[in-house]
Structure 1
Amino acid sequence: MKGKPQRTDRSLVNVVPIQLDASFFFERAVRSLDRNHYDKALKYFSKAAEYEPENPVNHCNVAGILSEMGDYARSNEILNHVLTEVDPSMMECYFYMANNYANMEQFEDAEEAIVTYLEEDEQGQFLDEAEELLDLLFFELGRKAPVKRIKAREGIAEHDYARSLLEEGKFAQAAEMLEKITKDQPDFTAARNNLALAYYYMGRFSKAKDTIFDLLTFEPGNLHGLCNLAIFFQNEGNKEQVAALIKQLQTLVPFEQEHVFKLGTTMGILGEHESAYAHFRRLLKNKDTASDPSLVHYAAVAACNTKRFKEAARLWEMVKMLDPDSEVPKFYISQLESREEEQEVGTISYHYHLPFEEQFRLWEKYGASIPEDIKNDPLIRSSFFWALHHGDDTSKAQVIIALRHIGDYEVYQALTDFLEQPDENTELKELALSVLREIGTPETLSEGENPYKASGPTDATGTPEQDMPELDDRQQAVLNKVLEKMDKYSDILREGVQYLWADYLKQVSPELPSISLVEGWSAALEYLTVKSAGEEVTYKEVAGHYGVSASTVSRYAKQIDLVCNSTHLLKPVFRALSEKM
């Protein structure tokens, strides 16, 4: 019987089926977003939300695009849906809603949303932006927003100081501070993330991973936690867990530059170089971030790792202009120039420092006269500490000898920990011991290296002495103002605030601050002193006493606390004064 030829399976042999899922539409949305095709990005993000309606990030992506397109009302409808139906813990939705309301000039609704964000959000991701919005609302409504507390500010000064220690490469000191912060405030997720990083940089991978597990149990969707955990799993060779996390991370399109940067570096470290390249290119389109030499370096690395060698060379030339003293771009440019046309370069690390072997060559060139900026480079320090725990015996010996030239509190901690490891080579331990004898004990190291030691002599009553430097009129006015405002506080707190001001001026001398706003400095001194005494106090409460904004108090308090570490400074003072009285 003749008829229409029947189609056989053989005719479909070259057809590749398309898997229509959330990831498929997500990838197309990102592609459209990179090309500024917002209408297409909206359509694709909406389809991703249809396929994964339980994923709040998909809905937030839709809301973000709508806001960019000026459809603020519809954006808020979706954000409200996230909070009521999908994930009530996504407090950042209130921040986004507040901005949408402000753009629609619905200022009372914006005030309600931003107050909720400040009082309930623990991360503080948008604190600075929220305070700017409060200033706008104050101008529009003619009143201060009724913020009872700023949840993310709890322990913020101590955390900022610990984070600065991390950035300086003082990982052991940072870990000590962060351990105390997380113990006192277990819901302070940013501190937990940084504690995990401190452990990681010190080579204590097991403790780093446990810290992240605790964090993700508390907040499963924490981006920094997920990124850090993926890197930790990769470090221990757990390919299955790494693959699962990569799949999860590839569905995310963060709008905040900090999150894009974190995701880009993480994907690069995990070997997902195309994804990393796309994230870094997004950041380079922003003029505020395009001048950061480390970011341009990461983009160059991603370009090189995806065989875009001409683009990599162009980007490293940019790094050389942005950071002319760095050896990093010069090294990689020379590597590209010396390669043959078809020759591979090999996978390059995303860290903004020289390869480990090159670092040793550089240190050998400097000998004992190593510049301070190289000694204090946190990435170099972290690579040394990593090699001390996980390198071969030759690398460990090189590291121990190199650490002798640094000889600070961090080195003492690292080498002491090394001596306690039962499986380490006896000869290496003897070498570490000889370096420890050479650099001395924590008590003989400079005071600036260990903020936990009591500073300064004590008087006959056991109270730390603090000679008040000679004050000019403005500096004296700060002290007079704070003592006037603190007339109802105890004598111990009043003496404490004088001690704190004297210590700050002494520490920054001879570059004493220019006092343009007496009330701001005075309010900051009161806040830090009362907080150090363990009493409940907020920036807003103190700001009200002095007629300044909470952001002003916060700014000056951070400036003082970064120098003095007020809690550690004042606690022994309060104890001694209490015993004296």
Structure 2
Amino acid sequence: MSKDSKLRQEHGNVLSFIPTGEYYFNKGVQAYDRRDIKKALKYMQRAAQLDPYDPVIACQLAIIYTYCEEYRKAIDIFRHILAKLDPGMVECHYFIANNYADLGLFDEALYNARKYLELDPFGEYREEAEELIYILNAEKEDETGSFSYEQDELMARQEEARQYLEAGHFEMALSELNKLIKKYPDFWSAYNNMALAYFYLGQTEKAVAVLMDLLEKNPGNLHALCNLAVFYYHKHDDEKLEQIVRGLEKVRPVLLDHQYKLGATFAIVGRYEEAYLWLNRLRKAGFDGDASFYYWLSQAAYHTGRQQAAEAAWEQLVELNPEKKGCEPWNREMEKKMNEKNVQFVLDRLNSAELPERFFGIFMIGLSSNRSDIVSHPDFKPLDDFTLAEKIYLAHVLESDIRERFDPDEVFVHGHNIACILHSHYGPMFPGYTNLMIAWFSIFLTGLKRGERFQNEAGFAAAFDYLWHRQKGDKVSQQAIAKEYRISVSTLRKYANRIKSLL
């Protein structure tokens, strides 16, 4: 080989390794996902220098400038994209609106948010743009430029309702959400939370009705569609579930929380391949997930034959929640004993000689996604063998129309809601879950005979939780339990005494 030809070959090899704009773009995205903003900005600036006509690179650079609070630089780039690079990239109007809002320029923010909705009325950021407009309108009503009272009230009520939901106080959450929607009828997240509250209370029909109302007012709301899929799954409405899922399969969300919502929804309804696609994508991007994220990632990996990935995700879950150790989806023995969906487990409770245990079995029917398998099972005892109290409670969990006629004072409703609160605090994987729930129904049945109405659901749930731990010898304080259930210590003591009188 001649010297010249060797030099030409070496020159060609060097050229093939010169990084391109795409190379630096990918490096920048990886750094951004790791929240290494300094490197992300450096890489993306270099990518934009090497490929100045790529609108995607320019958009990502502007997003990083927004993160760095360089709002004017971000706005200039977004405007350049719309004017020169890609006028069809209309989501830039939404990004511009956010930057103007951060600068306190509300008129410009409103203009661009509305422009985005005008150009893409069913776009990916529709819900976010509408909520931004709602908040900006409230902000503009305060002519002094200070944080408006209405926005303050909106956020405070939303946070209060969210805390009620997380604490399992579903009736109180519904009360707050009803007030919120009445005053702010276009605040869409309140509708989704209201639907969840009804669902957790076992009132699936009402939950579906709330979401249908929301989707009529705000078509394409991703959270509503995902929640609706879960509700149809639990209702065993396969036809409507399939219709929703087909639509969700076409969605390609950019926001991380939307990707998480979509992936978790697919996992819940048993579409594990789609679930793994989204949840694993988040994992690769360095998503800082909570315990639920790793739970569904492990489930999706396991059910798609990715055992190693499933075990790795479960290890992450156990680090965040040590009580999950031994409850792996591949641990069939634990699954059989503890999974609330297990038909035989529920049937065993229903056929128990003890009434509280049978009530717990009925409660599990209400939670189960296998209701039809349970009630049609040959071991499901004839309805004539159920006591009147069991029939009334069964009518409640199955949402029968006759329930109001036999429970006009809603005593069974309150008893069930208290069980739901306890379930939300512990769940079927809690080692003492079954005994705890049976003990609650024992208290409920005794109170039923003595005329107790169980109206303060949070008070009874907290008091029972406290007494349960004390009975086991656990060291718990009244202050800690009261704080967890968001009630006063005096209220906890009051209802603890009420429960003691039933023992």
Q: Larger helix proportion, structure 1 or 2?
A: 2
